[in-house]
Amino acid sequence: MSVEITRLPSGLVVITDSMPHLETASLGVWVGAGSRDERADEHGISHLLEHMAFKGTTRRSARQIAEEIEAVGGDINASTSSESTAYYARMLRSDVPLALDVLADILSNPTFDPEELAREQNVIVQEIGACEDTPDDLVFELLQATAFPNQPVGRSILGTRESVRSFDAAKLRAYLARHYRAPNMIVAAAGAVEHAAIVEEVQRLFAAFSGPPAPEPEPARFAGGARLEPRDLEQVHVTLAMEGLAQRDPALYSLQVFTNALGGGMSSRLFQEVREKRGLCYSIYTFHTPLSDTGLFGLYAGTDPQDARELMRVVIDEIAAAAETLSEGEVSRAKAQMKAGLLMALESSSARAEQLARRMLAYGRPIPTSEIIAKVDAVTVESARAAGRALIARSRPAIAALGPAEGLEGTVAIAEGLGRRAA
C-alpha cells in the first residue's frame, strides 16, 4: 500500500500517497471545521476566513502569494463546506516545499489587513448576490434551511450581507484560534511526494498549531417542512429532501446505491420516467450527502409551471415504488457506477489527496479503496430496498421550490404524500 501516515505529537496528522510515475504533487491542509461550527454571531465566518487566508501574511502580500505559486506553474485554492475547510495546491515535484511553506504561512501568519478585509467582504456580498440570481443554486440554500431550521448546519455557508460585513480581524482571529488546532487538522499529499520529507517540513512549518481538539458542533436536527418562493422565472425549481444517514452508519452504502439507482444517471428510474418517457424536465437527479451525525437525501428538478404538479406526482410514485421493486439490474448498474467513480479517482493526485483527508476526518484512519468497494459489493437488492423504505419512514420531507406561483401550488401536498405512504 502506498499510503503512509504519521501523527505528530501535537495531534496533527500527515498522510501521503506516493505516485512515483508522476512529476506533480497535490497537497493541502484540511481543517475539521466549517459552517456548522459557527456560533450565532459568526454566520459566514468560516468562508470569509478561507478567503482572507490569501489576502496577506506577515511575510507575503496577497500579490506575492499568487505570484510565488504561479511563478513555478502551480495553482492554489481553497473551499469551505459544512464540516471542513480545505486549502490546497498542485505543483511540480521540486516545488512541494514551496507549496507547504505558503500553506503554512497563510494559516499561521494572516494579517487580516482592514483594507483587504473590506474588499473581500464586498467580494463575498457579490457572491451572495450571484447565488440569489441563480435559482438552481438558491433553491438548495432554501432546502438546507428548511431541512435543518434555526441551526448552524441549515445556514448558508456564505452567510448574509449583514453578518459578513460585521466581522473584524479580532473575530476572525478568535474563530481561527478556537477551531484551527492540530488535532483537527490533516496535511494530505499525493503524487510525486516522499512521506518522510513531507513530515519533516510539516513539523517545522506547522509548529504554531497546538492545543486540545476544537469544540464539537451542535447536533443536527432534521425537521422537514416547506418553503415556497414565488419568482418571475421561466421554470419552477423544485427540491425535496429527507433525512439521510451519517458517514459511519452501517446502511450508508445501501442508501447510496438506492440513491444512484433512483436518480444518479441516465439509466436511473427518475431520468427515464420523468425526462425520457414523459418529457417533464431537462434536469432531474438525486443525491445523498452524509455528515458526521446525519445525512441529507435530496432531489432536484426544474420544470414548466404547468408541469410541476405532474412531475411531483411522478417523483413521489417512483421513490415509493423503488423502495419496493428495485431490480437486480438497477442495483448492479448503480454499484458499477459507484465503483468506477472510486477507481477513476485513483488516477488523479488531487482526488487522492482529498480522499485521504476526508476519510481521516470522517473515520480517523485511511480507508483503502478496496474496503469501500467491498462494502459496495455487499449491497443486495433487499438491503437497497430496505434503505429506501427506511428513508421514506424516517422523517417528514423537506420541500423547497421557487418559480411562478401557479407552478408552486399543490406541490407540497403531493410531496408530503410520501410520508403518509410510509405511515
Which residues are catalytically annotated? 50
**The cell 497563510 sits on which residue?**
106
Q: Which three cell numbers stand for residue 81?
A: 463546506
User: And the C-alpha cell for 253?
Assistant: 452504502
Residue 58 is given by DSSP the state: S
**Is the C-alpha dihedral spanning 167, 88, 126, 230 positive or negative?**
negative
How far is it, in rounded angstroms, from Cα 52 to Cα 50? Answer: 6
Contact 29/107 with Cβ under 8 angstroms?
Answer: yes
In the sheet with 225-230, reading across from the earlier edge strand, the strands are: 225-230, 398-403, 236-243, 295-303, 284-290
**The cell 474588499 sits on which residue?**
119
Amino acid, single-letter form, for residue 97: P
CB-CB neighbours of 325 under 10 Å: 12
**Are the C-beta atoms of residues 327 and 317 closer than 8 Å to each other?**
no
**Nearest partner of 205 among 14, 5, 63, 4, judged by Cα:** 14
Query: Cβ(240)–Cβ(139) under 8 Å?
Result: no
Contact of 6 with 200, CB cutoff 8 Å: no
Query: Exposed e or buried b for every residue in 266-285, given b needs 16+ CB within 10 A?
Result: eebbbbebbbeeeebbeebb
| 204, 23 Cβ separation under 8 angstroms | no
What is the SS3 assignment for 206? Answer: coil
Report d(CA 18, CA 266) in Å as an integer. Answer: 35
Helix (H, G, I), strand (E, B) or coil at 192: coil
